[in-house]
Amino acid sequence: TSGMTADQLAHMDHQPRGLGLLGAVLESDEPIRLEDLTQDPRSAGFCGSTHPTMTRFLGVPIISRGKRLGNLYLTDPLDGEPFTEDDQRLIVLLAQQAAVAIENARLSEQLQDMALSRERDRIGMELHDGVIQSVYAVGMKLEIMRGQFPMTLAQEKQYQSIIEDLNSIIEDIRLYIRNLRTAREEQATFKQRLENLARHFHDFARVEAVVDVPSRLRTLNDRQRHSLIQIVREALSNVARHAQATQVEIKAREVGNHMILTVRDDGRGFDPSKFREPTSFGLHNMHQRAIQLSGTLTIESEEGHGTTLTVQIPFRP
């Protein structure tokens, strides 16, 4: 096999977004094999003017336990011939192996996160029940000694200074315990709130909503979390009212120092140029929220091919 060159990739307008045939593969339970993809009504063209033309196509969904994880696709065999049944059987096998590998990787990540969570809890308990209690004991002994032995004014001041130091140490340890849990708790809160939105959306709109947020995602501050949740809420409201979709995916990713949050539906799509109108689908408010976070919000849509909303913000603006 051979793929695109680094130069070709660098000059592409954008990466594939799961529309057209790639979207059809994701929605299908079976492989799609075509001699000329340009003649298929599901084809949505290529990713910009610099993308190499393609003719032959063979794509298969990656499915595990009824859940679609992605797809594998090939185009244009080196010999120029159409893909064969043998080619199709091979890529189906590869997709099955990929599904197992992805599920195993996710399970491994979950187990690692559980182990990390348990270790944080263990350290926190040891600090609280061990170190803090020991420092308390030292303070109590000093109190007892204070009552047993008379002190000069200078000694009393020194004693008070020691007690203040001990109290400061206790507060530092408590802060450390809180910090051990803060990242995990805030992360869980953001993911949980997205999952709650997805669940309420499904109950209201009867549209499947999938939340994909990695376990290891850098911490967002309160303002960022609130604004992102409001953007997703508005996006889901738009889907329910206008998109006529059957599935929505809410995905968060960390890329460098930025969070990228996408809401993608497979609905009827719309004309993105209407985004300039303040009242169009509530997009103006979402755009303003992104700007207030020093970020950007983009809408990619085409009538009949769904909509993808992408928010990109720095973690610490």
Query: Do residues 8 and 47 touch, judged by C-beta distance below 8 A?
Result: no
Q: Is 241's pLDDT higher than 80?
A: no
Query: Do residues 229 and 220 touch, judged by C-beta distance below 8 A?
Result: no
**What whole-number percentage of the chain has pLDDT above 70?**
86
The whole-angstrom separation of Cα 207 and Cα 222 is 29
Residue 306 tokens, joined:
């769904």
- Who has greater pLDDT, 232 or 53? 232
pLDDT, residue 171, reads 80
Query: Do residues 31 and 88 touch, judged by C-beta distance below 8 A?
Result: yes
Lowest mean pLDDT among 80-84, 134-138, 245-249, 288-292: 134-138
The whole-angstrom separation of Cα 51 and Cα 20 is 15
Asked if residue 252 and residue 154 are part of one domain, the reply reads: no
| Residue-wise pLDDT tens digits, 158-195 | 888 888 888 888 888 877 777 666 555 555 578 888 98
Domain boundary among 108, 135, 158: 108
Domain boundary among 145, 163, 184: 184
* The dihedral sign for the CA sequence 129, 132, 135, 137: negative
Residue 12 tokens, joined:
């592409």
H or E element at residue 255: strand 247-255
**What whole-number percentage of the chain has pLDDT above 90?**
22
**CATH assignment of the domain containing 49:** 3.30.450.40
pLDDT, residue 9, reads 67
Please, what is the Cα angle at 77 between 74 and 78, to 5 degrees? Answer: 135
Q: Is 40's pLDDT higher than 50?
A: yes
Asked if residue 304 and residue 201 are part of one domain, the reply reads: yes
The whole-angstrom separation of Cα 269 and Cα 244 is 9
Secondary structure (H, E, C), 268-317: CCCCHHHHHCCCCCCHHHHHHHHHHCCCEEEEEECCCCCEEEEEEEECCC
Whole-number Cα distances in Å, 75 to 8, 59, 224, 283? 16, 9, 41, 37
Sequence-ordered list of residues with C-beta below 8 angstroms from that of 94, at least 6 positions apart, any chain: 72
Domain count, the chain: 3
Domain boundary among 184, 202, 221: 184
Q: Is 149's pLDDT higher than 60?
A: yes
Asked if residue 96 and residue 10 are part of one domain, the reply reads: yes
β 57-64/32-34 pair status: antiparallel
Q: Is 275's pLDDT higher than 60?
A: no
Which domain does 138 fall in, by range? 113-184
When pLDDT is averaged across residues 192-202 and rounded to a whole number, the result is 86
Q: Which pLDDT band holds residue 1 (cuts at 50, 70, 90)? A: low
- What is the pTM for the complete model shown? 0.44
- Total count of residues recorded for the chain: 317
Asked if residue 157 and residue 215 are part of one domain, the reply reads: no
User: Please, what's the b/e burial string for 140-151 (b: 16 or more CB within 10 A of its CB; e: otherwise)?
Assistant: eeeeeeeeeeee
- Who has greater pLDDT, 110 or 97? 97
Q: Which pLDDT band holds residue 278 (cuts at 50, 70, 90)? A: very low
